Structures are given as structure tokens and as C-alpha cells.
Amino acid sequence: MTDNINFKRIENDIQTDQVVLYMNGTPMFPRCCTSAMVVQFLDSYKIDYKSYNLMEEISLLDCLKEYTGRAVIPQLFIAGRLIGMGEDLREMFVNGEILKILAANNITKVS
């Protein structure tokens, strides 16, 4: 059964912020290597993003799985669209695909 409050929250999160990362832990203290890797890439490119710690919000995690149809964490949204998740994000950063997506959505480095 869909959790309408969290479902609407996810929709609001990804519509409000250009880059949203649902992760395990926080950017300062990631709780899995994949979340740490995504944070490191975003920070190295100086991209402004909003993150949500799914370890503290289990109901949000369950709803996110239902929302995207995928149980893999982290999940990265750009301009309201799920871009990638888990280890797939590593390849997208390494081959420059994330930078192309950011540029196509006029998302630039933080000054």
C-alpha cells in the first residue's frame, strides 16, 4: 500500500531541489561505500544537492522503493528524474554522463 504522505514528500523533494540524493547516512558520515562514492563525486564537482538519510527514515525508504520500483540505494534524481542508483552511478560519473545530464538541465557548479 502506498504511503501517501511520503509519496507526496518524495515528489515534493525532487521537484523542489534540482539534485536530490537519497542515501544511507549523511554527506558528512555516509554509511555505505556507494553513498560515500556519490557524495564524493558530487562534492568534487561542487554540485549543490539535497540529501536525505534513509537510515533515519525507514518509512521514506520503503516508499522510495515503491515510488521508483527499485530497492537499490543510493538513488540520485536530477531535475525531477531518477538518473541512477547504486553502483550504476559510478559508471555514470566516470564516463561523464552525469556531467552531461547536469549541463543539459543548466545545473552548474556552486560558486
What does each of the 111 residues of the chain score in pLDDT, given as a tens digit? 456 899 999 999 999 999 999 999 999 999 999 999 999 999 998 999 999 999 998 889 999 999 999 989 999 999 999 999 988 999 999 999 999 999 999 997 765
Give 4-104's CATH code, choosing from 3.40.50.300, 3.30.450.40, 3.40.30.10, 3.40.190.10.
3.40.30.10
In this prediction, residue 108 carries a pLDDT of 79
What pTM was computed for the model?
Answer: 0.92
In this prediction, residue 2 carries a pLDDT of 57
Domain locations in the chain?
4-104
In this prediction, residue 87 carries a pLDDT of 87
Are the C-beta atoms of residues 34 and 86 closer than 8 Å to each other? yes
